Structure 1
């Protein structure tokens, strides 16, 4: 027997003008036996990287559990995140607490950066001339600090910028750092670039977190875990790219960075940035 359901609202997602938001209400009081939940069709519509976060008994961050919930006489609020291929969730059993859900937000953060090709192009462009580890550490650290600030502000809905302009600004930042490679080979001061542009990229990262949906009681662990996932993905990319560039220097160019390689990669990245810019302003569909 299926639970009774009704549509609460349908319309544009106020947090993201590119998405729709549908609110459904279910009444399972008359359903006998165990109750299972699985959003098979919504997940299938999202594709292989689909995710679905849902909550049961969710309260606001400043609300406390009832005495019955503290004693275990009533189920406390919980959440679960489903991926394609996951089994249906038995709602008669306790769901995950905010911190138990953290690993899935961490995985979502890693996936977001690894499939965020514009962010990866930006990161690659600023390390193309790097031949030492310390400048790269400063570059990645500066980027982390600034984008963490705006990611937090956006996820907490303290600052909200239109995603349309954020995506355009990200494309422009990619073009800027790629073209800059043709005019300077110094990497010592490039942490200033990544620090400044990191504020914009942070809003882009936040869109990935906001699209998942963050329950009020899970804001802190979700935000921290997602951000750590993004950082882990970034560090993983740098740990692959930098040794690869140094190996190419050693084998093909007597330990020096090849200008042809740096210029060719910068031109390709700039071309990608221009393509994304034209798509985002609506010139190219």
Structure 2
């Protein structure tokens, strides 16, 4: 059995397709009836993934880590652990997602052992990974939500720690949900962006506030970011290997269109590429207009 994920530009068209009860494959394939339904997390019945746990070697026994993961997510099926630290995992999409979040948090926690949370505004060592190469002319340069005292390192305690994918984190800041939620619950944050992972430390703005405010904010961000995982798409325009004129045309097109789409899309400029993040329909429209601008055809 296979699964296909189809997007429609117009919601009305998608509803009409769902309303029609019977769908069949093309005649050449044969009269095979299809089951069509709204997209949900349950559509992906089974997912296979190969994990490389060797990055945790030296921190704790890998066998112990696997046993802990099996206990935490019993619905997953794990293959025997290979000597090189690799292991195959099979399970539902939700279970695999929970596994990913658990490993991201564990990796982040290891880096927290010998240093307190620092704000994104502080100068930190940058990873050589491509996703960290933010250029100086980035349209979205995330500003810290931490007061000046915290930026100077005077605030070290973290009430709750949250780990998000960097793309999702940047989009949260872009649409205003991030800072409005912090203000609503009177919670401060300290952020550290490291490649594809962003670690956020949450704490009450002042003593005397209800201690569960930090937990409420964390749970809200987790729920909201979980929904964004299914809504957001990313398109990347590579600049490497292109002639100077072509690179200039792509940058100019993205700069002009970013003003038009500033309420819908997050456009990040890097030295080697440009990332466009938003809904699938908006990202597609943006790419189509860029290609039209530089006289190319969308493939």
Specify the TM-score bucket, using the shorter chain as the normaliser. Answer: under 0.3
Higher relative contact order (CA 8 A, sep 6+): 1
More strand by share: 2
**Alignment TM-score, normalising by the size of structure 2:** 0.21
